[in-house]
A and B are shown apart, each in its own frame.
Chain A
Amino acid sequence: MSVAKTLVGRRRANLEIREPMGLLAKSLVLLVSVLIGLAVSVCILIASGVSASDLWNEFIVYIVTSPKNLSAVLVQSVPLMIAGLAAAVAFRARFWNIGIEGQMIFGAIAATYIAINDLGPEPMRLVLMFMAAAIGGIGWILLPAILKIKLNINEIISTLLMNYIAFNFLLHLLYGSWRDPLSGFPNSQQYDALEVFPLLGWQSLNFSMVISLFLVLFVLWLFIFSRFGFVLKVLHGNSEMARSLGIRIGLVVLLVTALSGALSGICGFVISAGIESRMTQSFFVGFGFSGILIAFLARDNPIGILIVSVLFATLVIGGQSLQVFYQIPFAMVQLIQAIIVMCVAGSEFFIRYRIAILR
């Protein structure tokens, strides 16, 4: 093997499996890999013409010192957090839900349907929209979930294909019967005042923050304290053992994917009712991928997801001002996310193995 046996003079490098690393050493490796990822990203940004001091200002100073920017970061972190939870929940059952964006679209469509038709009593409107969004998301993940359980069809591809189908359906609505009658633009009409989240009284922070924190706690309870979480742990660790213990794997996967779909649907809803006050044709873009990366970085841990999504939101808000003031395309944000995750993924190699130089 080229890696294991790189001949250097008479010495050779050999791979050895490490003793399990301690938590401190592990965190150190993780930290170093994140720093390497950030360093690479900073180099790319500087090469694109943003000076280092501007970067420091845009990403740290302006966000920490300005309550307005800080609240923008927190508002932005809400959908990222929920998308991260949606990905993590599915991953726990070894179901790769790459279709978060499609489920977000159907969640938002269901909520918007309630909003534009003014269904239900007014005080209950937001609650109804919330439930509709969850059901919309579940509806869109149901087919890939059943195909996976019954026919063992690869869910990575099926959920992803469903994204494209959902997107075309969204365009069909927005360029058709749901086009805004006032402006003529291809987005839904603006939500009424009682259909958007009430503000919490500090800057732009709104009620969706409470929802996301509640969802974090709920998933934490589910994973760690509930009986179902234990079943999931067994299934995640060893599906053969789970089967012989009599766990109905199909049912567990169905429930977990439904929860993942519901979370995705709610994620779409908090963007339309919490950030944009209407359904646009691009509200979902990038959240599915970010959700997966957040769940991966946080090792599916809900508290970790909370932290990582605030960091990702900082990246997004900083990226938005780079876009405005330095004409840096927003794709840079996605690139930075991918670079950091790549470094972290690569670092696991050094957590598991040691390169020993043999004589």
Chain B
Amino acid sequence: MEFLVFWLSNIPSFAAPFALGVLGMIICERSGVLNLGAEGFVLVGAMSGAGLLIGYGDFPLLALVVSGACAALLGVLFGLLVATLRVNQVIAGLIIVFLAQGLTSLISRNMGWVNKPFSGLGKLDFGLLSDIPTIGPILFGQDLVVYLTVLIYFISFQIINKTNLGLMLRAVGESPEAVDAAGGNVTLLRFGAIVVGAFFLGVAGGYLTVVVSKIWVDGISGGRGWIIIALVIFARWRLWRAMVGAVLFGCIEALIPRLAAIGVQLPQYFVLMLPYVVTLLVMVWSNVQSGGREGAPSALGRPYLREERH
């Protein structure tokens, strides 16, 4: 029972970065832009959040905003490549990952941010509510971002599905020709979606350092960006399915330290493989279910240029 409470109360903080990242990916990809740069945006967010806390003082919430902002800046570059210059979206995404790996490693070393622990963002305390046995630590013992994430999901759902802006976003991912003919600005819409998406991917990265690890080392995201991309396929580009996927991965990641704590002896490196193996299995499962592209925006990965319209 104690094991179960511990485990369940740890899930939200493992699920939150996945949830935020998948949200960013969905915003970007619903506009028809294939984003393989997720790992890069996550890395930049993770480093800039940590950098703010180490170099400029203890403002954890500001650090998360800075994480998002720096990733959004990289998003501007990605937007320039794919929305303006119409570079092949696969190549552009990979370039973003390489660039971010080099950049974060270089900056963090030059600034002396590597391996410096900081206090980061702690859990909220609701007083009596948090002391309720079993339910208290699970529902009322999380950090602020976990609750904000649920709120952000609700708002994003409303915007994407209930507003004109959301309609334009979805339309540009399904048929940019139609949006162009209706007088919408395809490049601007895609650019906006990329930058906003990059912001949330950056916040997800920031969460990894500011809330979870409270330290920065090179490549701390450990492939979570790629897991996020796989989760988008699992979610079929729908927000609430994305939340389910994020919680599922939160369960798995939260289980790993718990198993060691209760003394289950497993070869260490095989346990560390687990998230990647599960991601592969999830991809197999969702493709067997739906062929892999069900729910994908029709124009995903296709650059749009009015002069090349067929």
Chain B residues in 8 Å Cβ range of A289: 94, 97-98, 101
The one of B109, B187, B230, B233 in contact with A331, judged by C-beta atoms closer than 8 angstroms, is B109
Q: Interface readout for A323-349 with B: 1 if CB under 8 Å, 0 if not?
A: 000000101111111110110011011
Q: How far is the CA of A290 from the CA of B104 in the complex (A)?
A: 18
Cβ distance A337 to chain B, nearest Cβ, rounded Å:
7
| Contact flag A2-B187 (CB < 8 Å), given A164-B223, A329-B105 | yes
> In the complex, what distance in Å separates the CA atom of A293 from the CA atom of B155?
40
Total chain A interface residues with beta-carbon distance under 8 A: 50
Which of B94, B101, B287 is the one whose CB lies under 8 Å from A334?
B101
Residue of chain A at shortest CB distance from B103: A335
Cβ-defined contact, A1 with B186, below 8 A: yes
- Whether the pair A338, B185 counts as a contact (CB closer than 8 A) is no
Determine how close the nearest CB of chain A comes to the CB of B181; give it in whole angstroms: 12
- A284-312, CB < 8 A from B: 289, 292-293, 296
Flag if A337 contacts B226 (CB, 8 Å).
no
Among B92, B105, B293, B307, the residue within 8 A (CB) of A345 is B92
Stretch at the interface among A150-158, A199-207, A268-276: A150-158
Q: Does B269 contact A (CB under 8 A)?
A: yes
Do residues A348 and B305 form an inter-chain contact, with CB atoms below 8 A?
Answer: no
Q: How close is B113's CB to chain A, nearest CB, in angstroms?
A: 12
Residue of B nearest to A347 (CB): B85
Residues of B within 8 A of A349 (CB): 85-87
Segment 1-50 of A: residues with Cβ below 8 Å from B: 1-4, 15-17, 48
Q: If the complex has contacts A151-B292, A153-B292, A334-B98, are A165 and B277 also in contact, measured as CB distance less than 8 A?
A: yes
B251 on interface, CB distance cutoff 8 Å? no
Interfacial residues of chain B within 249-274, with CB under 8 A of chain A in the complex: 267-270, 272-273
Determine the distance from Cα of A161 to Cα of B226 in the docked complex, in whole angstroms: 8
A116 within 8 A of B: no
Cβ of B36 and Cβ of A339 under 8 Å apart? no
Given A160-B226, A329-B110, are A165 and B273 neighbors across the interface (CB < 8 Å)?
yes
A3–B91 CB distance below 8 A = no
Q: Are B292 and A152 in contact (CB under 8 A)?
A: yes
B1 CB–A CB distance under 8 Å: no
CB-nearest residue of chain B to A345: B87
**In the complex, A169 has a CB within 8 A of chain B:** yes
- At the interface, yes or no: A283 with Cβ under 8 Å from chain B? no
Whole-angstrom CA separation of A3 from B306 in the bound complex:
11
Is the CB of A175 closer than 8 A to any CB of chain B? yes
Q: Cα distance A112–B269 when bound, in Å? A: 20
A residues less than 8 Å from B105 (CB atoms): 329, 331, 334
Give 8 A-B contacts (CB < 8 Å), ordered by A residue: A2-B187, A2-B188, A152-B292, A329-B105, A331-B101, A333-B102, A345-B91, A346-B80
Given A161-B279, A338-B102, 16 further pairs, Cβ under 8 A: A1-B306, A4-B306, A48-B110, A96-B90, A152-B291, A165-B276, A169-B269, A289-B97, A289-B101, A329-B109, A331-B218, A337-B98, A342-B95, A345-B88, A345-B95, A349-B85
Interface, chain B (partner A; CB < 8 A): 36, 80-81, 84-88, 90-92, 94-95, 97-99, 101-103, 105-106, 109-110, 180, 185-188, 218, 222-223, 226-227, 229-230, 233, 267-270, 272-273, 276-277, 279-280, 283-284, 287-288, 291-293, 305-308
